[in-house]
Chain A
Amino acid sequence: MNRTVLYDEHLALNAKMVDFAGWEMPVQYTGIKDETLAVREAQGMFDVSHMGEIRVSGSGSGKFLDYVLSRKISHRNPELTNYAFLCYADGGVVDDLMVYQLGTEDYWLVVNAANTDKDFAYLQELLTKYDRKNEISIINETANYGLIAIQGTGSLTPTLKALSPIYPDLNISKRVEDLKRFRQVSFSLDDKHLVVSRTGYTGEDGYEVYLPVADTIKFWQNLLKENIRPCGLGARDALRLEAGLPLYGHELSSEINPLEAGLDKFVELERDFVGKAMANKQHRKLIALISEDKSIPRDGYPVFIQDQEIGFVTSGSFSPTLNKGIAFALVTADLAEDITEVEIAIRRKKHTYKITSTPFV
């Protein structure tokens, strides 16, 4: 089992540890409810060092990424963090990821922990068929970096207070203070990078800080001194669902393409890329559902209109912020036109769920 550099910190905080995609990770420290609410009402932090960083660099790497990803990355403002899909030829999703530009022809793909090895192998395979393969290198840098997400309104000050003392020679504050949402700054350290982006997976304002493994424990401990609440993967999942954000393996998979998941705006169908064929397969659609009673929908529960089964729940949970059951469901598009509610079968009964818009909160 893999462990992040913060493993002992989690144990010291009495975290409940679980196996997540081969990583021993904290699912909660005190409780999913209060950790979720801490992020909504104050700030919380997450060890997400298990996420993968795959570096693609060398002459032509921008064009290579344009070809393998659902968006043309190479011409975008290099300060932007870019959400995009890596797809199979039929449009099924290998992974959803964030692209960071670290320098000229130097990119990071930040990928789901469960998919890092699969993505790396797939990119290598695509590269061997690519005509400029000798100039491009693909390196898995996951083991070199820690990643801590600080989330919640007001995250800037504690993040800077915790980070600046570790890098007294870098002028971090000014550049991070000026950072707008969905943008990043990177700083060169000897042979590594410090990357700060104003991004996250909670629907709240906040920052994600990528730093060398050797500095990660100090940063975490400094954040604890700033009274930032440690939050586990349980709260992270509740927060992302409340924010209406997809999770690979649930709303996206080799069987569920980005168009079905309603993520058209991150797909540029007018150009050529691996997976463009997804346009031919769009018979299902994702809908957002909220409970009318106290029931809680769970992954895989069937969804009905009258007695016809039209799909299934892809992610379902209790929302600590709304105190209600919320879910995403993938349903047959034709059968879900002009409807305002469906039923979800939960154990022995069917419960009415209203179709709503995201974010849920």
Chain B
Amino acid sequence: MADYRDDRYYVDSHEWILLDGDTATIGISDFAQEELGDIVYVEVDSVGENLEKGEIFGSVESVKVASDLYMPVDGEVLEFNADLEEKPELINEDAYAAWIIKIKVSDSAQIEDLLDAKKYQDIAE
């Protein structure tokens, strides 16, 4: 049974976003990590770029599949979680602690379009 946290927002492409002032961290949901299985590689080559909501900021790969990662809102990619370079399995261990990127949110009005935990759970399952 996947875990859904109500301290953050989600998008239907299975990323979560946790806001902290005008910055935010982004990762993938517990449901997504369960579906992917053993995560063996996380690639982010967008640090420093300004991306729009829905644009690809990286990818996460399990033994079986590669899955693109999408921006939940517009923003500048500030940082990639370096821990994931050596230990991508941290996402399997705790998908909500293992943030993938940190961003500067450019348009806080977009927050209203995000899904809360309950709505996301309905979509995911």
A binding-site residues for B, Cβ under 8 Å: 16, 27-28, 31-33, 36, 234, 237-238, 294-296, 298, 317-318, 320, 347-349
Of residues 3 through 59 on chain B, the ones whose CB sits less than 8 Å from some CB of chain A are 37-38, 40-41, 43, 45, 59
Contact A317 B37 (CB under 8 A): no
Q: Tell me which of B38, B63, B68 has the highest count of chain A C-beta atoms within 10 A of its own C-beta.
A: B63
- Cβ–Cβ contact A347 & B59, under 8 A: yes
Residues in A with CB closer than 8 Å to B40 are 33, 296, 318
What are 24 A-B contacts defined by CB distance under 8 Å?
A28-B37, A31-B38, A32-B37, A32-B62, A32-B63, A32-B64, A33-B38, A33-B40, A33-B63, A234-B37, A234-B63, A234-B64, A238-B63, A294-B41, A294-B43, A295-B41, A295-B43, A317-B63, A318-B61, A318-B62, A320-B63, A347-B43, A347-B66, A349-B45
With A318-B61, A347-B59 known as contacts, the answer to whether A296 contacts B38 (CB < 8 A) is: no
Inter-chain contact B66/A298, CB cutoff 8 Å = yes
CB contacts (< 8 Å) of B43 on chain A: these are: 294-295, 347
Residues of chain B lying within 8 A (CB to CB) of residue A32: 37-38, 62-64
**Contact at A348–B45, with CB atoms within 8 Å?**
yes
Supply 15 further A-B pairs (C-beta < 8 A) apart from A234-B37, A318-B61: A16-B37, A27-B64, A31-B38, A32-B37, A32-B63, A32-B64, A33-B38, A36-B63, A234-B64, A294-B43, A296-B61, A298-B66, A318-B62, A320-B63, A347-B68
Contact A318 B63 (CB under 8 A): yes
Docked pose: A320 CA to B68 CA in angstroms:
21
* Inter-chain contacts of A28 with B (CB < 8 A): 37
Would you call B45 and A317 a contact (CB within 8 A)? no
Nearest CB on A from B84, distance (A): 11
Instruction: Report Cα–Cα, A123/B97, bound state, in Å.
Output: 56
Q: How far is the CB of B91 from chain A (nearest CB, A)?
A: 13
Residue of A whose beta carbon sits closest to that of B34 = A16
The smallest beta-carbon distance between B1 and chain A, in angstroms, is: 11
Inter-subunit contact B41/A296 (CB<8 Å): yes
- Inter-chain CA distance A27–B37, complex, in Å, is 10
Question: Complex: how many Å from CA A352 to CA B96?
Answer: 34
A295 to B43, CA, bound (A): 9
Query: A240 to nearest B CB, angstroms?
Result: 13
Nearest opposing residue in chain A for B85, CB measure: A294
A296 to B66 CA separation, bound complex (whole angstroms): 8
- Compute how far the CA of A348 lies from the CA of B66 in the bound complex, rounded to whole angstroms: 13
| CB-nearest residue of chain A to B61 | A296
Query: Nearest residue in B to A296 (C-beta to C-beta)?
Result: B61
Q: How far is the CA of A320 from the CA of B61 in the complex (A)?
A: 13
Task: Give chain B nearest CB distance to A166 CB in angstroms.
Answer: 33
B contact residues around A33 at 8 Å (CB): 38, 40, 63
Contact B37 A318 (CB under 8 A): no
How far is it, in angstroms, between the C-alpha of A52 and the C-alpha of B64 when the chains are bound? 25
Which residues in A have their C-beta under 8 angstroms from that of B37? 16, 28, 31-32, 234
Chain B: which residue is nearest A324 at the CB level?
B40
Interface mask (B60-104 → A, CB under 8 Å = 1, otherwise 0): 011111101000000000000000000000000000000000000
Residues of B within 8 A of A234 (CB): 37, 63-64
A326–B96 CA distance with the chains assembled, in angstroms: 30
Closest to B92 in A: A31
Give CA–CA (A302, B28) in the complex, Å.
28
Contacts of B63 in A (CB 8 A): 32-33, 36, 234, 238, 317-318, 320
- Give complex CA distance A28, B62 in Å: 13
What residue in chain B is nearest A323 (Cβ atoms)?
Answer: B40
Ranked nearest first, the 6 interchain pairs of A and B with the lowest CB-CB distance are A32-B63, A33-B38, A318-B40, A31-B38, A318-B63, A296-B61
